[in-house]
Amino acid sequence: MTQLQIPSKLVLKTTPKADWQGTLTLLPVPAPQMPNPDKPGQQVGDILAGPNQVIVSVGPAEKLRTANIRKAGISAAAWLIKHGVTAIGLSVSALDHLKIDDALEAFCEGLSLGAFDFNLYKSKADDSIINVFILTEEGDASSAEKIMRVDTLVSGVNLAREWSHEPPNVINPITLAERAQALAAKTGLRYTVFDQDILKQMGAGAILSVGLGSKTPSQMILLEHAGKDKSGDSPPVVVIGKAITFDTGGYSLKNKQGIVGMKFDKCGGMAVLGIMQVVAALNLPVRVIGIVAAAENMISSNAYRPNDIITSLSGKTIEIISTDAEGRMVLSDALTYASTELKPRAIIDLATLTGGVVTALGQVRAGLMSNNNDLADELISAGERCDELLWRLPLDEEYFELIKGSDSDLKNSAGKPLASAIVGGTFLKQFVLNDIPWAHIDIAGMATVESGLRGNSATGYGVRLLIDYLQNLS
């Protein structure tokens, strides 16, 4: 592997305004109350271009918020790429005039996120670069640091997006473990992998079962950031991601429409890797352990079947109702390991777990389920701050009746279309032991968006959310 990450098409450079020699500037402005030929339109991201200035609307002034400023940056990046702009200036003072905290960071995040282009496998990829010069006033010592943090954060988001886009003939559980090892070496994270033999010795039958049909067996990948406690004794925050590198559905086979795009069933795990890259780069004081539960759900004579009964790492037995409910299987063993071996202060898992959460919440908010009100509130607040929004769903004990086993301790699916997102969370809850605060975030509706002719495009959802949560821990 020659590189871990594709270089960005857009580069942010802080430059004193007095030293800048360019002529084309980018100006974010509130939309006019009435149509004005000298202003862009009412919609966030509307653009009016002149010979020396590109003006982008951040929407009506009375509705101005960081989410709209970020969206305006995304639209501006698309326009700059489409029109072949190679250099443009952006004044810090222009963003200060919006009188919104973090306006500079939000707009520049949008620019960098909007320039994302997974072109690794295109024979004629556009390799042009857009240089955006962040024009600072005399005595401005903080903008360069803000831009550096934006670069660091967006790099983690885009790593998650890039690796989510990688095809299943390139990323499988074994090659993913190799990439994670390279990422750890680059960032100074501690790397551990539990391969098939170790997982068998541990008794992690749930994660192993999902990979039985594949020639590349399941892997549990751990990356650790020590934080300020170099002894490694402080309770960590554990972030767990589902990484099904391809999901056929197994013997509960997906249809021909549903199977396309199943390379994106690893988005939760890729978000965890992006999070860990940012945690290391920012050297956050909190100890953080990322776990990626990786498997490929294929069909063969060795594959697990409906009605199989699997013994999980926890000792609980699981009857398989659907081999397409595989994400909760790989996560169950990771949750058990984290809650029994790592003594965490909190566990948070990210997973493209259910279509039911998409039915319930669409592509506006991810579903949040938790056994701890404080943790849930902290995550919801983080989501509101960074505009990766959550909506809490219930976990009443009565939901367990839908997956209570008859020949086993529990079933991996209700087998009927009832509260499917909540059933998924209820299943996972059974494997969080020792009263550890835990939250499950179902990102099935948020991990990808429709992106024109390309089809689905990965968003990296969860990276900014969890970084905001970690940065605000007391």
DSSP label of 285: S
291 contacts 222 by C-beta, under 8 angstroms: yes
**Which has the closest alpha carbon to 130: 119, 117, 141, 149?**
117
d(CA 184, CA 190) in angstroms, rounded, equals 6
Residue 88: both structure tokens together: 């443009």
The dihedrals phi and psi of 100, each to the nearest 5 degrees, come to -125, 130
Query: Residue 42, CB half-sphere, CA atoms under 13 Å: how many?
Result: 5
- Is 230 an active-site residue? no
Q: Is the dihedral of CA 280, 285, 291, 292 positive or negative?
A: negative
Beta bridge partners of 456: 450
The DSSP call for residue 7 is P
The answer to whether residues 20 and 89 touch, using CB atoms and an 8 Å cutoff, is: yes
Of 65, 254, 316, 343, which residue is the catalytic one? 254
Q: How far is CA 313 from CA 160, 217, 302, 338, 409, in A?
A: 28, 17, 20, 11, 13
Q: Which DSSP letter does residue 174 get? A: H
Q: Which of 9, 70, 149, 328 is catalytic?
A: 328
- Residue at token pair 């010795």: 201
Helix (H, G, I), strand (E, B) or coil at 445: coil
Burial class, 37, CB count within 10 angstroms (exposed 0-12 / middle 13-18 / buried 19+): exposed
Task: Note whether 171 and 177 are within 8 A (CB).
Answer: no
- Provide the pairing of β-strand 237-247 with 346-351: parallel
CA 405 to chain centroid: 33
Q: Give the CA distances from residue 419 to residues 186, 422, 437, in Å, rounded to whole numbers and listed in that order.
A: 42, 5, 23
- Assign 406 to helix, strand or coil: coil
In total, the chain counts a number of residues equal to: 474
Neighbour tally for 363: CB within 10 Å:
15
Please give the full DSSP string across 419-430, using - where no structure is assigned. Answer: SHHHHHHHHHHT
Q: How many CB atoms lie within 10 A of CB 5?
A: 14
The answer to whether residue 254 is catalytic is: yes
- Angstrom distance (rounded) from CA 360 to CA 342: 34
User: Which positions are catalytic?
Assistant: 254, 328
